[in-house]
């Protein structure tokens, strides 16, 4: 173990990292593998504005990677102010090395990387017993994971009923809408804890953080001339995939029911075990007054669009978010996760203003 090398990674390590990712699915009731084909760093540059990827290898000349993790930065609003916060994710350890001291070695390396007082965000799927046991292990050298909310991720398949539009006009965005959209981000974004600091000018510049994102993929809801809700649909399948390796026991038959319904109505179909879920991620979600009826009206044509492409629409909320009530108008499947703040320097939660509702950008997980 003393000979293991833990070092920063770059694109030259892409192939070796992908090999590791393919053989390290996320355990749980539904066994998923979050893949990054065809290039790991394409996905890493979307998850974080500034990726910080590290790998572990043996020093014997073998190019295999036995572990990887990413602790990159993204700018989010914390207490209404822009801050660069690390997001700890994509931790993968070769099955042959699980239970060894490798994880402790990696966390010791992490302790030397983090600045004094620095904390990170991380999200762990409920049911991922391996990661959850690490959180509460108390092993020497590991940071403290402070629980900071439950997250419900929903795959929306179809509207259950006609939503009330109450005079809302919902349409796709155009370049002419960019100033109005940016004003909404600048006004409403800081009110949410962890909302991303977005400059929509990057959509025109084609930055890597916005890979594959286009202005026409945004949908806007208006009351008269007033923009009251906005969100984008992001097809990330060209660089990020969610593969279903196994459905929860006894629920495989539900997939067939969904697929029969989907084929009849032209909607989404769920893959067999081993297949990839085709979905569109909702991002940059803002609704004035946190009104679920406005969000429901906005989501309806977005779900219809996704259905026409035989894809599900995926979005997530922290539990307790009033906007989550909008999901009641759709046929859906839920996944549960836990959000943590990770630190070696004490509990950061008392410094956070509790009146600000937290936000999760599912497209950046």
Question: Across residues 292-312, what is the average pLDDT?
Answer: 93
Tell me, what's the pLDDT at 310? 86
Do 160 and 286 lie in a common domain?
Answer: yes
Question: Across residues 325-348, what is the average pLDDT?
Answer: 93
How many Cβ atoms are within 10 Å of 182's Cβ, its own excluded? Answer: 15
Domain housing 279 = 155-336+353-360
Whether 344 is in a domain gets the answer: no
Question: Number of structural domains, the chain?
Answer: 2
State the Cα–Cα distance between residues 227 and 208, nearest whole angstrom: 28
Task: Assess whether pLDDT exceeds 50 at residue 182.
Answer: yes
Token pair listed for 339: 């959000």
Output DSSP code: residue 191.
G
Do 219 and 240 lie in a common domain?
Answer: yes
Q: What would the pLDDT profile of 143-174 be if each residue is shown by its tens digit? A: 999 999 999 999 998 887 665 666 899 999 99
Token pair listed for 274: 């081993």
User: Which residue among 128, 154, 180 closes a domain?
Assistant: 154
φ, ψ of residue 158 in degrees (nearest 5): -170, 150
Residue with tokens 């945004």: 218
Tell me, what's the pLDDT at 261? 46
User: Which residue among 111, 139, 154 closes a domain?
Assistant: 154
Do 42 and 170 lie in a common domain?
Answer: no
Do 238 and 122 lie in a common domain?
Answer: no
Do 145 and 192 lie in a common domain?
Answer: no
Q: What angle do CA 308, 174, 287 make, to 5 degrees?
A: 75
Q: What would the pLDDT profile of 9-62 be if each residue is shown by its tens digit? A: 999 999 999 999 999 997 777 788 999 999 999 999 999 999 999 999 998 767
Nearest CA to 289 among 203, 223, 363, 209? Answer: 223
Question: Which CATH number belongs to the domain containing residue 63 in this structure?
Answer: 3.40.630.30
Tell me, what's the pLDDT at 270? 74
Q: Per mean pLDDT, which range of 79-88, 93-102, 168-177 is the poorest?
A: 93-102
Query: What's the pTM?
Result: 0.90
Whether 348 is in a domain gets the answer: no
Do 106 and 220 lie in a common domain?
Answer: no
């Amino acid at each position: 173990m003393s000979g293991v090398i833990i070092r920063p990674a770059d694109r030259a390590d892409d192939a070796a990292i992908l090999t590791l990712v393919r053989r390290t699915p996320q355990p749980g009731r539904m066994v998923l593998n979050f893949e990054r084909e065809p290039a790991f760093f394409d996905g890493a540059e979307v998850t974080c504005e500034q990726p910080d990827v590290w790998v572990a290898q043996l020093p014997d000349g073998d190019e295999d990677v036995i572990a990887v993790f990413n602790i990159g930065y993204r700018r989010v609003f914390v207490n209404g102010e822009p801050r660069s916060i690390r997001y700890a994710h994509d931790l993968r350890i070769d099955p042959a090395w699980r239970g060894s001291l490798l994880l402790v070695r990696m966390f010791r390396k992490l302790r030397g990387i983090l600045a004094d007082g620095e904390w990170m965000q991380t999200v762990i799927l409920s049911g991922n017993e391996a990661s959850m046991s690490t959180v509460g292990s108390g092993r020497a050298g590991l940071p403290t994971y402070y629980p900071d909310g439950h997250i419900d991720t929903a795959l929306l398949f179809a509207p259950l009923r006609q939503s009330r539009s109450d005079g809302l006009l919902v349409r796709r965005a155009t370049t002419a809408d960019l100033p109005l959209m940016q004003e909404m981000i600048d006004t409403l974004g800081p009110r949410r804890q962890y909302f991303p600091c977005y400059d929509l000018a990057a959509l025109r510049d084609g930055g890597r953080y916005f890979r594959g994102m286009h202005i026409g993929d945004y949908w806007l809801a208006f009351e008269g001339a007033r923009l009251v809700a906005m969100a984008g649909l992001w097809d990330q399948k060209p660089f990020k995939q969610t593969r279903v390796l196994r459905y929860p026991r006894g629920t495989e038959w539900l997939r067939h029911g969904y697929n029969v319904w989907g084929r009849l109505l032209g909607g989404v179909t769920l893959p067999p075990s081993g297949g990839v879920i085709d979905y569109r991620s909702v991002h940059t979600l803002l609704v004035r007054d946190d009104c679920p009826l406005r969000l429901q009206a906005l989501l309806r044509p977005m779900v219809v669009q996704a259905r026409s492409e035989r894809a599900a629409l995926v979005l997530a909320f922290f539990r307790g978010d009033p906007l989550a009530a909008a999901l009641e108008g759709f046929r859906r499947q839920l996944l549960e996760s836990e959000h943590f703040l990770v630190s070696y320097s004490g509990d950061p939660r008392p410094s956070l203003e509790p009146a600000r509702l937290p936000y999760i950008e599912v497209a950046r997980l």
